Amino acid sequence: MEEAQVILDTVDKFLERDVAPYAKEFELADKYPHEIVEKMKLLGLFGATIGTEYGGMGLSASVYAGIVERVSAVWMSISGIFNSHLIMCTAIEKFGTEDLKERFLPRMATGELRGGIALTEPDCGTDLQAVRTRADRDGEYYVINGTKQWITNSVEGNVLAVLVKTNLNAEPRHRGMSLLIVEKSMGYEAHKLSKLGYRGVDTGEVVFNDVRVPAANLVGDAEGKGLQQILSGLALGRINVAARGVGVARAALDASINYAQIRETFGQPIGQHQAIQIKLADMATRVEAARLLTERAANAYDSGERCDMEAGMAKLFATEAAMDNANEALRIHGAYGYSPENEVERYYRDAPLLVVGEGTNELQRLIIARQLLEKNPA
């Protein structure tokens, strides 16, 4: 516990010194924060959850969630740079051969390789079984053709975990899906996409045109297991997104509390008006509830339990809390909140990503409901 607090305190100092003074500039310009990323490497954030035997920090999901909340309260975008990376690392560490782990995880732990997960396609998002990107076996290689979209770390990063079809005729469909580790040097192209929020971090369209990948880069010992492998990694990803939601919701609350004490109407600070007090009370309650749900999901993950329902609940509630708090913060700030000079405007643009990223909140509701029905049969 003491070691965890030292890590969190170190992250706080890094954010105060190296991120907070520059976040607005990078975000408004949609400029990739190379200098900040280099300092994130030195902090070990790219190896946060990777096992110590592969050069990582081996942090629990609980400590990791605490880091993500703190980062997201200052600048949510940069949490995505190491989240997508660590989802990929989790899939390799859980399911990869020892050769694959030794070839990739040590370099990923240092940030020498910065990765992402290439799942979504132009015509496929929530229904991952509908992916069309295919990988055909050619001797000791796979040849990949297809397009992925909205892929974090695809432009500035240098390696991707790519969900592909290796058997187009498999039934059920997921048995024809595999996960391949593809380095940018192998030939894929990535083009940056513009976004409403989540700016500064690169999100791109990735095109695979006869990209040859060694068969040894298949995750696991056989084809047909890719969907289950990446969904396992997404449990940690949803805890990350929930923690992001807590961070954004908290930042919106803190900004609103501060503003409510300095902005005056009718001869007194607006924080003295009951209408504003009610908003602040609801915002604070959402933050605390979201944090508790996120901690519960992280603890379940750390214990090795199946935690898709807990992670889904945390992701659902915390990201909706971020949306609600960002909206209320803008209303409390009035016209000032509508200006890009005010960070509240950024929270208002960033929060919508969280309700669609790592599985839409509509999907989370379905996952939760199905788990409830499984656990409580008639």
DSSP secondary structure, 124-171, as one string:
BSS-GGG---EEEEETTEEEEEEEEEEEETTTT--EEEEEEES-TT-S
Q: Given a cut of 90, is residue 280 above it in pLDDT?
A: yes
Q: What fold, for 115-227?
A: Butyryl-CoA Dehydrogenase, subunit A; domain 2 (2.40.110)
How do residues 287-302 score in pLDDT, each as one tens digit? 999 999 999 999 999 9
Q: Average pLDDT in the 134-157 region?
A: 96
pLDDT for position 127: 79
How do residues 186-230 score in pLDDT, each as one tens digit? 999 999 999 999 999 999 999 999 999 999 999 999 899 999 898
- State percent of the chain over pLDDT 90: 85
Query: Helix, strand, or coil here: 286?
Result: helix
Q: Average pLDDT in the 326-333 region?
A: 97
- 21-30 LR contacts (CB < 8 Å, sep 24+): 23/74, 23/75, 23/200, 24/343, 24/346, 26/75, 26/200, 27/75, 27/77, 27/199, 27/200, 27/346, 28/199, 28/340, 30/194, 30/199, 30/200
Tell me the pLDDT of the chain averaged across its residues: 94
Confidence class for position 174, pLDDT limits 50, 70, 90: confident
Q: Average pLDDT in the 55-71 region?
A: 97
How do residues 8-38 score in pLDDT, each as one tens digit? 999 999 999 999 999 999 999 999 999 999 9
Q: Given a cut of 80, is residue 252 above it in pLDDT?
A: yes
Q: Average pLDDT in the 274-293 region?
A: 98
pLDDT for position 55: 97
- Of residues 234 and 224, more confidence is placed in 224
What number of other Cβ atoms are within 10 A of residue 361's Cβ? 17
pLDDT for position 357: 85
Q: Given a cut of 90, is residue 104 above it in pLDDT?
A: yes
- Of residues 375 and 179, more confidence is placed in 179
Angle at 247 between CA 87 and CA 367, to 5 degrees: 50
pLDDT for position 325: 98
Of the residues 53, 264, 358, 362, which is catalytic? Answer: 358
Q: Given a cut of 80, is residue 126 above it in pLDDT?
A: no
Beta bridge partners of 146: 208
Q: Average pLDDT in the 152-169 region?
A: 95
Q: Given a cut of 80, is residue 266 above it in pLDDT?
A: yes
- Rounded to whole angstroms, the Cα distance separating 49 from 60 reads 7
pLDDT for position 269: 93
DSSP 184: G
Interior/surface letters 180-217, b for 16+ CB within 10 angstroms, e for the rest = bbbbbebebebeeeebebbbbbbbbbbbbeebebeeeb
Q: Which of 144, 142, 119 is nearest to 131 (CA)?
A: 119
Say whether 358 is catalytic.
Answer: yes
Q: Given a cut of 80, is residue 306 above it in pLDDT?
A: yes
Contact (Cβ atoms closer than 8 angstroms) between residue 351 and residue 248: yes
Quote helix, strand, coil % in the chain, to nearest 5: 60, 15, 25
Residue ranges per structural domain of the chain: 2-110, 115-227, 228-375
Q: Average pLDDT in the 346-375 region?
A: 92
CATH architecture of structural domain 2-110: Orthogonal Bundle (1.10)
- Name residues whose C-beta falls within 8 Å of residue 306's C-beta, 6 or more positions apart in sequence: none
- Rounded to whole angstroms, the Cα distance separating 82 from 188 reads 21
- Name residues whose C-beta falls within 8 Å of residue 247's C-beta, 6 or more positions apart in sequence: 68, 69, 70, 71, 72, 73, 74, 76, 79
- Name residues whose C-beta falls within 8 Å of residue 26's C-beta, 6 or more positions apart in sequence: 32, 33, 36, 75, 200
Q: Given a cut of 90, is residue 6 above it in pLDDT?
A: yes
- Rounded to whole angstroms, the Cα distance separating 182 from 188 reads 8
The tally of CA atoms less than 13 A away on the side-chain side of residue 263 is: 17
Q: Do domains 2-110 and 115-227 have the same CATH topology?
A: no
pLDDT for position 72: 98
Contact (Cβ atoms closer than 8 angstroms) between residue 198 and residue 350: yes
E strand or H helix at 209, and its extent?
strand 203-214
Q: Given a cut of 90, is residue 241 above it in pLDDT?
A: yes
Domain 228-375 sits in which CATH superfamily?
Butyryl-CoA Dehydrogenase, subunit A, domain 3 (1.20.140.10)
Confidence class for position 146, pLDDT limits 50, 70, 90: very high
Confidence class for position 136, pLDDT limits 50, 70, 90: very high
For the chain, the C-alpha Rg in angstroms (whole number) is 21
Tokens read off for 365? 């509701």
